[in-house]
Structure 1
Amino acid sequence: MDLQIALFLGQDGIINGAIYALMALALVLVFSVTRVIFVPQGELVAYGALTMAVLQAGGTPATLWLLLALAALTLAMEAWRQARGGTVDWWATGLWCVLLPALAALAVWWRPASLLGQALTVVLIVTPLGPLIYRLAFRPLAHATVLVLLIVSVALHGVLMGLGLWFFGAEGSRTPPFSEARFELGGLIVSGQSLVVLGVTVALVVAMFVFFERTLLGKALRATAINRVGARLMGIPTELSGDLSFALAAKIAAISGLLIAPITTIYYDTGFLIGLKGFVAAIIGGLASYPAALLGAVLVGQLEAFASFWASAFKEVLVFTLIIPVLLWRSLRSHHVEEEE
């Protein structure tokens, strides 16, 4: 390996690490607020990329019909909940079940011709899927154990992957890049799409930092993540915190899908591996620390890139083996605490 190859592999690792960083941030956010290890995060990434491909081909993405079906089911469930004497936050229900699905349907009917317009349409379609999935599958189990929530999450992963095969078929898709520019830096060719990936990732990380540190909603999410019961006693609606965390995770997934679709061919099951590598990065952060998860994502990206050169047949094994020493180190540094405590 010479310096040129090392620089190329390092660049590839940074780009992959940026995507894994977004996955890790979304997983940490959802777990810290709701205790859900959101396994289908990768499927939402694939949905975003493949929905963009369908829009560019001039078709109507099946994810729109999935969104409308989930919205109708959620409305029916909330009406049944109110009929049984429960309280329903109809303004939030109207946002996730009526307003955003209507805007998504209008955007698909309008059929924007520009890449930016199509990307915004994809975000409008995929983002409400997060809170709708939360309301249908996870909110009724809010007091269940983490293991039960994980089992439900794995089941959802299987359902969404099967729907992805039905919606988009087994053939892969690739979309045009957002930038065709190419730059040469010290003999290293840098594509404009790579800079777009890095720029959007940095912008999202900064935006999340500002959101959690400077906004009332962000501070409410942080309070829910630190102490759910205490946040509820202070008047913070923890159920709406779950809605918001899943919406942010779905939005991150949609943007991630848009970023990687021009770089690699996306299949209906591609998102699973991407989500798993983001999960490895999140584990490095202990499913609690955002900075550690970001560093873990960079480490995973670099390990994957250099492993593809030295032992391409075992690169996935090497990446997922990384989780073993991390878990061992964390188990030795922490003491066991019963969940009821």
Structure 2
Amino acid sequence: MNAQIALLLGQDGITNGAIYALLALSILLVFTVTRILLIPQGEFVTYGALTMASLQAGHPTALVWLLLALTLLDGALDLLASLRRPHAWRLPRKSLVKIAYAMAMVGLVNTLPLAQLPMALQALLTLALVVPLGPLIYRLAFQPIASASSLVLLIVSIAVHVSLVGMGLLLFGPEGARTRPFSEQGLELGPVALNSQTLWIIAASLGLIIGLFVFFERTLYGKALRATAVNRMGARLMGISPEMAGKSTFVLAALIGTLSGILIAPITTLYFDSGFIISLKGFVGAIMGGLVSYPVAALGALAVGLIEAFSMFWASAYKEVIVFTLIIPFLLWRSLTSRHVEEHE
């Protein structure tokens, strides 16, 4: 290995590590606020990439029907809840707004010239289609059992993951897809030519991380989520809705996952079941942070990307084994230094 190869591998490692860092932050955020280990985080990545590819090919994506079906199911649950209250037999206004939004998405997807749209509008339309799935999944799968044990939440999370993988096969088919790059120009830095998509990924990742920092440090909703992460019972006593906190974290997780899929789709072919391995590598970074520290989780995910890139050069057949073996010493260290405390509500 010479210096030029090392620089190229480092570029690939930083690119992958930036995506893993975003996924690690979203997994950590959801876990600290809701105690849900978001196994289906990777499905937001694949749904975003495959939806973007469908739009660029000019095909009305079938994902919009999934969005409409989940929205109608959410409205039915809201109506059922209102029927249990006296003199409130009507669908809440927020449910009507959500149904109208889903119907509008159906109309847009089936009437717009999708392939002729500018890439920025295609990306925005992809976000508009995939991100609402986050709070809908929380409302339908997790909100009714929000007070259950962590083991039950984990089992439900695995079930949601399996369901979304099967739904992805039904909606997108078994073929992989890759999108057009945002731009063709690159940046020359000495002997290394940085790919334009790499620059987009690094810039978007830094922008999201800075945006999340500002959100949690400077906004009321961000401070409410931080309070919920520190002490759920105390936050509830202070009037912070656990339903609001759960839906907000799932919105952020879906946004990060979908944007990650849009960013990496031009440089790698993604399939309907590719999300699990991607999110698992982000989970390794989150474990390095002890499922507590956001900066350590981001650095751990970046290290995962670099180790994966250099493993492809030295032992490509064992790169996945090497990456996932990293989790073992951190789990051993956590088990030896942490005390077991029974969870009380």
Give the corresponding residue for 2:46: 46
Question: In the aligned structure 2, how far is the partner of 1:92 from the partner of 1:227?
Answer: 29
> What is the CA distance between 1:104 and its match in structure 2?
3.1
Give the corresponding residue for 1:11: 11
Give the corresponding residue for 1:35: 35
1:264 paired with 2:265, answer no
1:165 paired residue among 160, 166, 169: 169
Structure 1 SS opposite 2:135: helix
Question: In the aligned structure 2, how far is the partner of 1:175 from the partner of 1:248?
Answer: 23
2:288 paired residue among 275, 284, 291: 284
In structure 2, do the counterparts of structure 1 residues 331 and 90 end up closer, same or farther at CA, with 3 Å as the change threshold? farther
In structure 2, do the counterparts of structure 1 residues 196 and 103 end up closer, same or farther at CA, with 3 Å as the change threshold? farther
Question: In the aligned structure 2, how far is the partner of 1:20 from the partner of 1:207?
Answer: 17
**Alpha-carbon displacement from aligned partner over 1:54-112 (angstroms, at most 9, x marks no partner):** 111111111111000000001001111222239999465455x3354245335423345
In structure 2, do the counterparts of structure 1 residues 233 and 111 end up closer, same or farther at CA, with 3 Å as the change threshold? farther
> What is the CA distance between 1:206 and its match in structure 2?
0.3
Give the corresponding residue for 2:154: 150
Amino acid at match of 1:32: T
1:208 paired residue among 197, 208, 212: 212
TM-score normalised according to structure 1 size: 0.96
Structure 2 SS opposite 1:220: helix
Question: In the aligned structure 2, how far is the partner of 1:68 from the partner of 1:287?
Answer: 34
Structure 2 SS opposite 1:239: helix
Give the conservation status (yes or no) of the 8 Å contact 1:21–1:281.
yes
In structure 2, do the counterparts of structure 1 residues 102 and 186 end up closer, same or farther at CA, with 3 Å as the change threshold? same
Give the corresponding residue for 1:115: 119
In structure 2, do the counterparts of structure 1 residues 338 and 89 end up closer, same or farther at CA, with 3 Å as the change threshold? farther
> What is the CA distance between 1:333 and its match in structure 2?
1.8
Give the conservation status (yes or no) of the 8 Å contact 1:107–1:121.
no
Give the corresponding residue for 1:248: 252
Give the corresponding residue for 1:125: 129
1:339 paired residue among 326, 337, 343: 343
> What is the CA distance between 1:183 and its match in structure 2?
2.1
Structure 1: give runs of 5+ residues left out of the alignment.
none
1:182 paired with 2:186, answer yes
Give the conservation status (yes or no) of the 8 Å contact 1:101–1:128.
no
> What is the CA distance between 1:185 and its match in structure 2?
0.9
Give the corresponding residue for 1:101: 102
Question: In the aligned structure 1, how far is the partner of 2:94 from the partner of 2:229?
Answer: 20
1:326 paired with 2:327, answer no
TM-score normalised according to structure 2 size: 0.95
Greater than 2 Å deviation, 4+ residue runs: 84-95, 97-112
Structure 2 SS opposite 1:189: strand
Tell me how large the CA RMSD over aligned residues is: 1.7
Give the corresponding residue for 2:315: 311
Structure 1 SS opposite 2:194: strand
In structure 2, do the counterparts of structure 1 residues 33 and 5 end up closer, same or farther at CA, with 3 Å as the change threshold? same
